[in-house]
Amino acid sequence: MMNRLKNIMLAAIVLLILGSCNDFEMLQRRSGYLSVSLQRDDEVHTKAVDAKSVDQTFALTISDENGKVVAEVPDHRTLEIEPLSLVAGMYDIKAESGADLNAAWDSPFYSGTATAKVIADKNNNAEIVCSLANVMVTVDFSDEFDENFVEYSLTVENGIEALVFSNLTGTLDKTAYFKVTGDLYWRLTLVNIDGALFEKEGYYTDVEAQQHYAMSFSLKDDTVQESNGAMGVKVVVDDSVNPSVEYPVVLNFGVSNYPSVAPNEGFDISGDTAFPVGDTSDKRIVATATSGFSSLLIRQGVEGQYDLWYQLVEATPESISELASLGISASSLAYGATTTEIDFTEYISKLPIGSYLLEVLVYDIKGLSTRADIYLNIISAIDADVVSAEPGTTTAVITAKWYNDPQPAGLGLEYKKTGASEWIKVNTDDITFDAATKTFYAQITGLSEATEYEFRPYSDKDTDLRSMTFTTLSGLRTLDAVPWARFAVVTGGWEGERPQGLGFEYRQDGGFLHEEWNNARSGCDDC
C-alpha cells in the first residue's frame, strides 16, 4: 500500500513538472510586439553632432537568433502605426537608408544595427542609431580660379567609380558620396586663359566610413609671380582629416620639367594599341623624375574595373612580389630616386582577348606629376578587322592576316551568306599564304549576285573569330550613254542567263523634277 501511494505521488509530480514545461514553452511561443525608434548620427570625423530623429525612410531586416530573416519592413515608420508581431525571443535588426552606391551625388547611405528582446504580450521598442556608412567629399575653389582659368575641375574616385566637380557642369557645389574601399584618388585639372593645361594628382589611404574630405583649393596672392609664362602657385588642400597640407606647385607652361614616362622602341602607348594574344615582344617603360620621385603608382584593370594602386616608392617586398605574380617586373624605389624601369612584357603576354588599361602616375619632390594611360587591345593571333574583300558578281577575293611568328597552324578561311547558320570552308589548296606580309587570301566562286556575305579566318587554336561582311555586285551593267539634242542612246549588259523583264528606266539628274523613275521607250513624240 505504501509503495502504491509513492508511485501515485511520483506520477503527480512528473505531471506537474511536464505541465510547467509545457506552460513555459507555450509562453515562449506566445507573441509580442516590436516597434522601432530610429536616430541618425551625423558625426563626421571628430565633429560630433548630436544624434537626431529622422523623417527619411529606413528599410529594416529582422533576423532571429539563428540568423534566419523573419521579417523585412520597407519603411520603418509603418511600425509606429502598427507594431510588428513576433514570437517571443531575441532578434537582430538592421536598418538602411537608400542604396550603398559605388559613387553618387547627394546620396548619403546610413546604416545601423541593434539587438532587441521581444517579451510575450508586450509592446517592445528597439532603438537604432544609424551613422553614415559611406565617404563624403566636398570641394571649394577660391574666387581666383574664375579669374585665371577657363576650366577647372577635380576628379575623385574610390577605385571603382569617379565623380567630377567642374565649373563647366555646375557640380562644384554638390556633395559626393563614395562606397568605402580604403582609398580615394583625386586629380586637379586646370586650363588657363591661354588654353594651357595643368594637372596634379593625389591620393588618400585608410579611408573609412563616416569621413568627410572637404578639399579646398586656393591661389595665394603672395606666391604668384609672372615670368616667361611661368606662374608659381601654392595649392592648399584641406582634407578635414589631417592638418591642412600645403603643396607647392609650379605651373610652367613653357618649360617641360615634369616627370616623364617613355616606352621602349616598338611599344606604342600613344593610343588604343592592338597586340595579338600571347605576344611576347619587349614592352617596357622608363619613368624619370629629374628632381627625384616622391611617388610612383601603377594599377591595371579591365572593362572599367581596376585594382587599387601599387606604390613603388619605398614599396614593401610583399607589394613587389604581388606585382611579379601579375607578370609586372618592378623594383622598390628610394625616395628621391630619379629613374626606374617597369617591364610589362609578361603581364601583357598572359592577357586573354579583350580591352585593358595600365595606368602609371608619377610625382616628383617638387609636386609636379605626369600620368600615362596605356590602353591595350588584345586580339586573336589572326583577325578579320584588318582584312579586305574584293567582290565581283558571283566571286570575291578575301584576305586575312596573322600576327605571331611562326605562322599559326591550321590557317584557313570560311564564309557564308549573312544570316545563314553553316559556314563554308575554303579549300586549303585554293589559299595563298604570303609570309612576308603575314597575309593569306583566296578567290571564292559560286556566289549569288547582289547578296551580302560574311567571312572570317580561323586556325587550330583560333576559332569563332570576328567576321567581316561584303556584298556581291549586281549582274546588270549600264555600259554607255550617248546624248543627242533631244534624246540619248543608252546600252547595258548582263552576266549569265538573260534576266526576265529586262529594260531601262530614267529620271532627271538627281531626281529633283521626277520623284519616280520613268520607263524608257523607243521612238519619241516628234519623230
Does 227 share its domain with 279? no
SS3 for 167?
coil
pLDDT score of 65: 85
Three-class secondary structure assignment of 246-314: EEEEEEECCCCCCCEEEECCCCCCCCCEEEECCCCCCCEEEEECCCCEEEEEEEEEECCEECCCEECEC
Please list the residues that pair with 373 across neighbouring strands: 359
Tell me how far apart the terminal alpha carbons of the chain are, to the nearest angstrom. 149
Which range among 314-328, 414-428, 468-482 shows the weakest confidence by mean pLDDT? 468-482
Is the pLDDT at 521 greater than 90? The verdict is no
Residues 113 and 56 in one domain: yes
3-state SS class at 29 = helix
As for how many domains the chain has, the answer is: 5
Residue tagged 584557313 (cell numbers): 412
* pLDDT band, very low/low/confident/very high, at 13 (cuts 50, 70, 90): very low
pLDDT value at 232 more than 50: no
Q: What is the C-alpha separation between 103 and 209, in angstroms, rounded?
A: 13
Residue 21 domain-assigned (yes or no): no
Which three-class secondary structure string do you get for 453-472? EEEEEECCCCCCCCCEEEEC
Weakest-pLDDT range from 255-264, 290-299, 345-354, 509-518: 509-518
Q: Identify whether residues 111 and 183 lie together within a single domain.
A: no
Domain that holds residue 491: 477-519
The pLDDT confidence band at residue 293, using thresholds 50, 70 and 90, is very high
Please report whether residue 234 resides in a domain.
Answer: yes
> Does position 428 have pLDDT exceeding 50, yes or no?
yes
Does residue 163 share a domain with residue 114? no
- 412 vs 78, more confident: 412
> How confident is the model over 296-309, as pLDDT tens digits?
999 887 755 667 78
| Lowest model confidence (mean pLDDT) among 47-51, 108-112, 328-332, 468-472 | 47-51
What's the distance, CA 80 to chain centroid? 43
Residue 325 sits in a domain whose CATH number is 2.60.40
For residues 457 and 486, state if they share a domain: no
- Are 103 and 178 contacting, i.e. CB atoms less than 8 angstroms apart? yes
Distance CA 177, CA 198 (A): 26
Q: Model confidence at 525, in pLDDT bands (50, 70, 90)?
A: very low
Name which residue leads in pLDDT, 319 or 437.
319
**pLDDT average, residue stretch 441-459:** 90
> Considering 132, 154, 176, which residue would you say is the last residue of a domain?
132
Would the pLDDT of 473 be above 50?
A: yes
pLDDT score of 480: 61
Task: Record the cell numbers describing residue 220, joined without a space.
Answer: 595665394
pLDDT at residue 498 in the model: 65
| Residue 19 to residue 171: CA distance in whole angstroms | 70
Partners of 92 in the β-ladder: 63, 115
Whether the predicted pLDDT of 254 surpasses 60:
no
Higher-confidence position of 349 and 464: 349
314 and 344 housed in the same domain = yes
The percentage of residues in the chain with a pLDDT greater than 90, rounded to a whole number, is 24
Among candidates 70, 64, 54, 241, which has minimal Cα distance to 130?
Answer: 54
Supply the DSSP symbol for 235: E
Is the CB of residue 520 less than 8 Å from the CB of residue 506?
yes
Contact in structure between 203 and 187 (CB atoms under 8 Å): no
357 and 292 within one domain: yes
In terms of DSSP bridges, do strands 284-288 and 260-263 run parallel, antiparallel, or are they unpaired?
antiparallel
The reported pLDDT for the residue numbered 524 is: 40
Mean pLDDT of the chain: 76
Q: What is the pLDDT of residue 249?
A: 43
Q: Is the peptide bond before 406 cis (omega within 30 degrees of 0)?
A: yes
